[in-house]
Amino acid sequence: MRSDEIAAGLTEIDTRIGEACQAVGRDRGEVTLIAVTKTRPADDVRILCELGVRDVGENRDQEAAAKAHELAGLPLTWHFVGQLQTNKVRSVVGYADVIHSVDRLRLLEAISKEAVRQGRKVGCLIQVALDDDPSRGGARPADVLALADEVALTEGVWLGGVMAVAPLGEEPARAFAVLRDVATRVQEQHPRATMVSAGMSQDLVEAVAYGATHVRIGTALLGRRRPFVR
């Protein structure tokens, strides 16, 4: 049964997070699992919720909006982890509790405007670019603090912290060390912005070693995604 498969995946990932914490002397309670449910049916999310998962992540608005709407009664925190275009902001603000991909002022302004209009408070993480590939999104490390200051001054949003995706073909530990430095600088100015969203199925151990508070796990939890195009 699907619920048995998911329960097994959850046990395994929980063990991996626990071991990663133990290896660096961190408390297991410091790390929250975000189940990345993109491409999975709403029923998978329902099962995760029954198994005690409270944080789910999605990266495409259309799909996320449909699931969040269908599952609106469940006690879930919805994390939007994908790149976000301003024309999708109205929809995303309608269901997302935390947006992990805030990387430019224009986007922040759009989120704020919409959050105020909808009477919502949306958590914002500054996505940090850890490589020079602009297609993957993120603010340059040197620009993060200024953007964080803006979030803190902006209506309708709260500053959660920082997020990053490890660059392809580089040591994740090295990238996450940069992220940790950025996170530390943000926290010096904004002590409550404690979230560090880093680590996916392949690199969660390194992310936890460098201070991740939120790991975003899809494949290792729910199995391999089927490709969209066959």
Residues contributing to the site for ligand PLP (CB under 6 A): 36, 38, 59, 81-82, 165, 200-202, 216-220
Nearer to ligand PLP, 21 or 81 (CB): 81
CA pair distance 119, 130, nearest whole angstrom: 34
Closest CB 82 distance from ligand PLP, rounded Å? 6
Closest CB 103 distance from ligand PLP, rounded Å? 12
CA pair distance 177, 148, nearest whole angstrom: 19
Asked whether 91 and 82 are in contact (CB, 8 A), the reply is no
Closest CB 83 distance from ligand PLP, rounded Å? 9
Closest CB 78 distance from ligand PLP, rounded Å? 14
Nearer to ligand PLP, 39 or 194 (CB): 39
Closest CB 203 distance from ligand PLP, rounded Å? 9
Burial class (CB in 10 A: 0-12, 13-18, 19+), 141: middle
Nearer to ligand PLP, 71 or 198 (CB): 198
Q: Which residue is nearest to ligand PLP (CB)?
A: 218
Nearer to ligand PLP, 184 or 219 (CB): 219
What stretches of the chain adopt beta strand conformation (E)? 32-36, 55-58, 77-80, 98-102, 122-127, 157-163, 195-197, 214-217
Nearer to ligand PLP, 3 or 83 (CB): 83
DSSP string, 26-73: --GGG-EEEEE-TTS-HHHHHHHHHTT--EEEE--HHHHHHHHHHTTT
